[in-house]
Amino acid sequence: MEHLDTQVREVYERVGLTMSLAQCLEHRLAVLLTCANDFGPDGCTAERYDKVLRDFLARPFGQMVSELCDSVKLPPELERRLRNAVTIRNRLAHRYFRESVGEFVSPDGRRVMIEELDRLSDELNELDDHVERLQIAWLRQGVITLESLVRCIETPPEEA
C-alpha cells in the first residue's frame, strides 16, 4: 500500500474501521440474543450457550436486529438506530465504493468520504456503547429474561 496516496489509504482505513464497528455491534447483539434465549428446563450449559451464540453469529445482522425488534418492544429511536446500523453495514459491504467512485478520484471527494466515514463510525460506536450499557444493566439484574430486558430498555441506565 506504500504506493497509494496518503488520503487514499485514509479512506481504506476508515472503511475498515467503520466496518469493524458494525461487526462489534453485530456481535454484541448476538450475545444479547443468546443471553435472552430460553434454554429450556435443562438450563444453560457452556456447550449450549456456545451453540446458540454460533447460531446467532451465523445469521445476517439484519435478521438479528429484526429478531430483537420482534422479541422486545424497543423505543422507536433505538429501533431506528439499529436498523440504520444494518443499512450502514450493508452499504459498506456491498455498495460503498461503487456509489462513491466519483468522490474517490479527487482529493476533495476523498475528504468528503473521510468525513462521512468518520460520522458513520461515530454513529455505530455510540450505538454500540448504548447497547452495551443496556446489556450491562440487564445482566446486573441477575434475572436474565426478555421481560427483564424490557425493563432495562424502558428505564435506560445513566449515560456513562
Per-domain residue ranges of the chain:
6-154
Q: Are 134 and 156 in contact (CB under 8 A)?
A: yes
99/88 Cα distance (integer angstroms): 13
Q: What is the pLDDT along the chain (160 residues), one digit of tens a residue?
A: 566 689 999 999 999 999 999 999 999 999 888 887 777 777 777 888 889 899 999 999 999 999 999 888 888 999 999 999 999 999 999 999 999 999 999 999 999 999 999 999 999 999 999 998 888 877 776 655 656 556 656 665 554 3
Q: What is the pTM of this model?
A: 0.84
> For residue 22, what is its C-alpha cell?
458494525
DSSP line for 18-72: HHHHHHHHHHHHHHHHHHTS---TT---HHHHHHHHHHHHTS-HHHHHHHHHHHS
